[in-house]
Structure 1
Amino acid sequence: MLNLIIVHLFGLMTPGPDFFYVSRMAASNSRRNTVCGILGITLGIAFWGMLSMLGLAVLFVTIPALHGVIMLLGGSYLAYLGFLMARSKKYAKFEPHSDTEFNQQTTIKKEILKGLLVNLSNAKVVVYFSSVMSLVLVNITEMWQIILAFMVIVVETFCYFLCDFIDFFT
């Protein structure tokens, strides 16, 4: 399990769309919305973790086109997010807002969904879980070990991004 914790921590520490999404949310959004985005990312990691434990690498070897389709869809969504961020830059006004103003703009469900979609479209996560994590998880065979590994991945992800968010304010 220690190998899993260390490998997953290093995977989380490599900058990618999830990290930049959380950083952007922390800088420009309310705490509530940022934590909801982190929860969405964590749900995405839970999804990829389950797929990895169920044999994602085997599926990609069996159906090679599936990997390409997922990468293409993920890249398209990230390009769309980049376009939206670039477009919103010209309308950006740097005025202080209260948490109440931010919270009225969107719902918890929408913020969780945004975080989830950022993670599900993250090509780095697909490569990470289909290659690196598949190798780490290959020796985990007992059901209790699988459940524990899944919980470690999910909790470590949530804690890492929450610490990233908290670190933004210190």
Structure 2
Amino acid sequence: MDTLTPVITISTIHFIALMSPGPDFTLVVQNATRYGRPTGLAIALGLACGILLHSIFSITGVSLIVHQHPLLFSLMQIIGGGYLLYLGYGALTAVWLHRHTPTVAESSSDKSPLLLANRRQAFSRGFATNILNPKALVFFVSLMSSLVPADMSISIKTLTVVILFVLSLSWFSFLAWVLSTPRLQNKLQSAARYIDALCGLVFTLIAITILYQAMLRLLS
């Protein structure tokens, strides 16, 4: 039981973090609402794969090297913040287009940078959103460095990584599934413009925070 205690602790903290609002949560809410269940599930898989990679990098020490190298970490912050800013711009652009062409919803969606042509593109967006998020890197570095014992076996480390992946995929898939049920989606579609606006603001504010921190790091 003592061997599994760190695994249980890490899994519990991770699951709580999954449920807190952030870029991953926001991405699933927005796209499952706008594009439906298949897109939402593809994004869930992409996010889970990003978390899987973060977990592997953190538990093997690769992420710690990046985090301790100021230039590398600042570069990741700039790339990640820029990507989130792009998502925020896309969401707010969709709101603007819908506002000026409210009777042609499909036309406005086609012009939006958020348009997802297929499940592969949805998976890529989910993966990129998670893996490029520097806050995710810091979270996993902190989690693994403080809770993974130095003598933890390879099999237990593997078990930890697998559990984190399964928890992530299960939560985001559940979220996408619930948001895309016919009854709920009919209600949410009428509020799609407001959901896009809220998600756009969330992405933009997080992006600005990350980019600001990157600038401070580079100038210090």
Work out the CA distance in 1 between the residues paired with 2:54 and 2:130: 9
Cα separation, partners in 2 of 1:128 and 1:113, compared to 1, 3 Å:
same
Deviation by residue 1:80-109 (Cα, 9 ceiling, x = unmatched): 111111111122358898xxxxxxx62221
Partner of 2:57: 51
Given that 1:11 and 1:128 are in contact with CA atoms closer than 8 Å, whether structure 2 keeps it comes out as no
Compared CA separation, residues 50 and 91, structure 1 to 2 (3 A): same
Q: Which moved more, 1:132-141 or 1:118-127?
A: 132-141
2:21 aligned partner? 15
Q: Which fold has the larger relative contact order, with Cα–Cα distance below 8 Å and residues 6 or more apart in sequence?
A: 1
Query: Secondary structure at the residue paired with 1:106?
Result: coil
Identical-pair percentage: 23
Specify the structure having the higher radius of gyration (Cα): 2
Is the deviation greater in 77-86 or in 140-149?
Answer: 140-149
Would the alpha carbon gap of residues 107 and 166 (structure 1) be closer, same or farther in structure 2, given more than 3 Å must change?
Answer: closer
CA distance in 2 between counterparts of 1:14 and 1:133 reads 19
Using structure 2 for the length normalisation, give the TM-score: 0.67
Gaps of at least 5 residues in structure 2 are: 1-6, 107-115, 185-220
Q: Equivalent residue for 2:39?
A: 33
Cα distance in 1 between the residues matched to 2:77 and 2:149: 24
Distance in structure 1 (CA, Å) of the matches to 2:122 and 2:19? 23
**Residue 78 of structure 1 corresponds to which residue in structure 2?**
84
Question: Which residue number in structure 2 is paired with residue 6 of structure 1?
Answer: 12
TM-score by length of 1: 0.85
- Structure 1 unpaired stretches of 5+: 98-104
User: Cα distance 1:85–1:59, how it changes in 2: closer, same or farther (>3 A)?
Assistant: closer
Query: Post-superposition shift, 1:141?
Result: 1.9
Contact 1:52-1:133 within 8 A present in 2 as well: yes
For 1:100, the equivalent position in structure 2 comes to none
Quick check: 1:143 aligned with 2:149?
no
Whole-angstrom distance in 1 between the partners of 2:169 and 2:150: 24
- 1:153/1:95 Cα in 2 relative to 1: closer, same or farther (>3 Å)? farther
Query: Which deviations, in whole Å up to 9, do the C-alpha atoms of 1:48-86 show, x marking residues without a partner?
Result: 11110111224422x222111111110011001111111
CA contact (8 A) 1:45 1:157 kept: yes
Letter of the 2:138 counterpart? V
**Matched-pair contact (CA < 8 Å) for 2:40–2:177:** no
- The number of aligned residues is 162
